[in-house]
Amino acid sequence: MKKLLILAATLGLSASLASAQDDEAAIRKLSGDFFAAWGRHDVKAMAATFAEDAEIINPFGRVAKGRAAIEKLFTDEHAGPFNGTSYTATVSLRMLAPTVAFGDWTSSVTGMHDAAGKALPVFEHHVAVAYVKKDGHWLTAEARPYAFLPPPTQ
């Protein structure tokens, strides 16, 4: 009986670990899909990585609620300062529950230009991301891109 309980516990733990690894891989793929879509400037594909009821507040304070509004925000950004840019990021993940995860992206946008066409510096930033698993698929529920400010001078 004792051996049976140990075997059952081991199998349960193995299944849980495999499931968590599968979830993490799925979230990393979702994030990678967003980065690839950015590189193609495919705003529809970028928005498709977000849940229908998702929300984003970009680093400039613009709020978009819902996938359609998020697609509009990306459309506007990629017609302006992000047109022709490249996006790279390193993703850190923490599973909070079987259907909820938190991500932090350490990100860079290169190739930005101002309205006059002058090259802008690389935009180094982070993105705090809440992921949710809906109907077996991971999606972005919330995204908050932000840039660190320099510390105040003394």
Dist. CA 129–CA 98, nearest whole Å? 16
Query: pLDDT digit string (tens) for 58-91?
Result: 988 999 999 999 999 999 999 988 999 999 999 9
Task: Answer whether residue 57 is part of any domain.
Answer: yes
Task: Answer whether residue 151 is part of any domain.
Answer: no
Which alpha helices (H) appear in the chain, and where do they start and end?
Answer: 2-40, 43-48, 67-79
pLDDT for 4 beyond 50: no
Contact 106, 93 (CB under 8 A): no
- DSSP bridge partners of 36: none
140 contact partners, CB below 8 Å, separation of at least 6: 30, 34, 49, 50, 51, 54, 129, 130, 131
Mean pLDDT for 115-141 is 95
The 3-state DSSP class for residue 117 equals coil
Task: Answer whether residue 123 is part of any domain.
Answer: yes
Give the domain extent around 17. Answer: 2-146
| Closest of 131, 142, 141, 122 to residue 57, by C-alpha | 142
Dist. CA 106–CA 117, nearest whole Å? 26
Task: Answer whether residue 154 is part of any domain.
Answer: no
The tokens for 101 are 């995860």
The predicted pLDDT at position 130 comes to 98
Quote the percentage of the chain above a pLDDT of 70.
88
Residue showing tokens 């698993």: 133
Contact 111, 98 (CB under 8 A): no
Number of domains in the chain: 1
In this structure, what CATH number is given to the domain that contains residue 46?
3.10.450.50
Query: pLDDT digit string (tens) for 27-52?
Result: 999 999 999 999 999 999 999 999 99
Task: Answer whether residue 152 is part of any domain.
Answer: no
| Closest of 57, 52, 84, 82 to residue 67, by C-alpha | 52
The predicted pLDDT at position 21 comes to 87
Dist. CA 41–CA 31, nearest whole Å? 15
